[in-house]
Structure 1
């Protein structure tokens, strides 16, 4: 791989650039960000070597790493710009809408629907680091619709960055992510909101916040500019996940209200089984 172009120079886009730079000699990395500050920071940090809005015709791979609600128009515009030997993949958290959008596009074979399951609660080029993607799972959707030779370019990059690939239907991807990623962020944001509301009356509440609170609310520090679009783009799946979550919260509340300690214990004991499942995934 000789040329890489990244649109969206935040945590994920920047980390891809830094990791690729470490693995490929003489790699030329260009990029663009709608934020002038992010663009300048990316140049200063050496994330990209040159700022340009459109990729060169002979670019090997273009990575789209912008908020979810911008990806549809950006993907179409990028496919219209690229040369015939360029692969485009996005790193967005929703996939079904994008796959449907480009289903009949004349350059559909030059698109790969990818989602690396990697991130932190921090954002922007200054949050990027080369090790973010190491050993992380990347989900690929509709692999069979991407040109074989262009897929090889993606495999070369993914292998160099030590990513673990999983393959999934786009609708299935969005449905599962609503439960294991999107819902957890909503829970964290709402816990943070609830405690902030309490803090208006009791100023010392954070003095009593232990590690459990800190770890649970950590995701509430995530970028609203990134997460609000995800919640709206995957609305139907997230609403379904929220309905189940709210129902479980209400049932748990009723057991507390009834002082039914045995029912609470039985409920939590059953839920403890998630430890075994998560341990197997490590």
Structure 2
């Protein structure tokens, strides 16, 4: 593999570039971002060696790393433009709409639906890290629909970056991500909002914010430009997750209102079992 083109030069796009440059020799990486400052930063930081809107005809991989609501049109236009030996994959957080949209495209077998479970609360090229993807999970959807020869190009990159591959259908992916990722971000944003509203009356509230608050609200620092589209693109699954979450909050609130010490203890002790599950997943 000699050439990679990345559209969207932020945290994920930039991290793919930096990681690939570290692990693969003689690699030429070009890219494009709608934000001119991101373009300048990506060049300065060595994320790409050249800014160009379209990939060269002999490009091996095109990586789409733009907000979720832009990926559909971008994927179609990219497939329309690429040469026959180029593979396109996206890193978007939703998959069902994309795979449905591209199902009838004549170059469907030149697309790989992918989603790395990696990121931080920061955004932009300056947030990119060469080891961000190391030992992270990469979810692949509809692998059987991608050209056997071309998918090897993606595998070469994934292996170099030490990604662990997992396979799901698109609907399962979106349903699960609504609970373990999207709901987490909503919770963090809403906790942040609740405390900010309180701060309007009590200016010193943040003086009492310890590590527990900081870790819980960390995701509220995430980019709205990325997360607002994710929440609308995966709306049905997220609303389902929110319904369950709100019901649990209401039930827990009622136990507090009733001073139900035993009920509170038993519920939290049951939830503590999540430690064992998370430890097994490490």
* TM-score (normalised: structure 2): 1.00
Corresponding residue of 1:40: 40
* Post-superposition offset of 1:25: 1.2
* Post-superposition offset of 1:26: 1.1
Residue deviations 1:59-80 (CA, integer Å, cap 9, x gap): 0000000000000000000000
Corresponding residue of 1:260: 260
Secondary structure at 1:58 match in 2 = coil
Corresponding residue of 1:178: 178
Secondary structure at 2:197 match in 1 = helix
Corresponding residue of 2:133: 133
Structure 1 residue runs without a partner (length 5+)? none
* Post-superposition offset of 1:24: 1.3
For residues 106-121 of structure 1, the aligned pairs below 5 Å read: 106-121=106-121
Residue deviations 1:69-121 (CA, integer Å, cap 9, x gap): 00000000000000000000000000000000010100000000000000000
Corresponding residue of 1:163: 163
| 2:107 pairs with 1:101 | no
* Post-superposition offset of 1:186: 0.1
Residue deviations 1:195-234 (CA, integer Å, cap 9, x gap): 0000000000000001000000000000000000000000
Find the aligned partners of 1:138 and 1:64 in 2 and give their Cα distance.
Answer: 15
Corresponding residue of 1:11: 11
Corresponding residue of 2:82: 82
- Find runs of 4+ consecutive structure 1 residues off by over 4 angstroms: none
Find the aligned partners of 2:136 and 2:148 in 1 and give their Cα distance.
Answer: 23
For residues 169-248 of structure 1, the aligned pairs below 5 Å read: 169-248=169-248
Corresponding residue of 2:147: 147
* Post-superposition offset of 1:2: 0.2
Find the aligned partners of 2:39 and 2:52 in 1 and give their Cα distance.
Answer: 10
Q: CA RMSD in A?
A: 0.3
Secondary structure at 2:202 match in 1 = coil
Secondary structure at 1:120 match in 2 = coil
Secondary structure at 1:29 match in 2 = strand
Find the aligned partners of 1:198 and 1:24 in 2 and give their Cα distance.
Answer: 50
* Post-superposition offset of 1:31: 0.2
Secondary structure at 1:132 match in 2 = coil
Find the aligned partners of 2:80 and 2:206 in 1 and give their Cα distance.
Answer: 52
Secondary structure at 1:130 match in 2 = coil
Corresponding residue pairs, total: 282
Residue deviations 1:146-205 (CA, integer Å, cap 9, x gap): 000011101100000000000001000000000000000000000000000000000000
Find the aligned partners of 2:241 and 2:3 in 1 and give their Cα distance.
Answer: 40
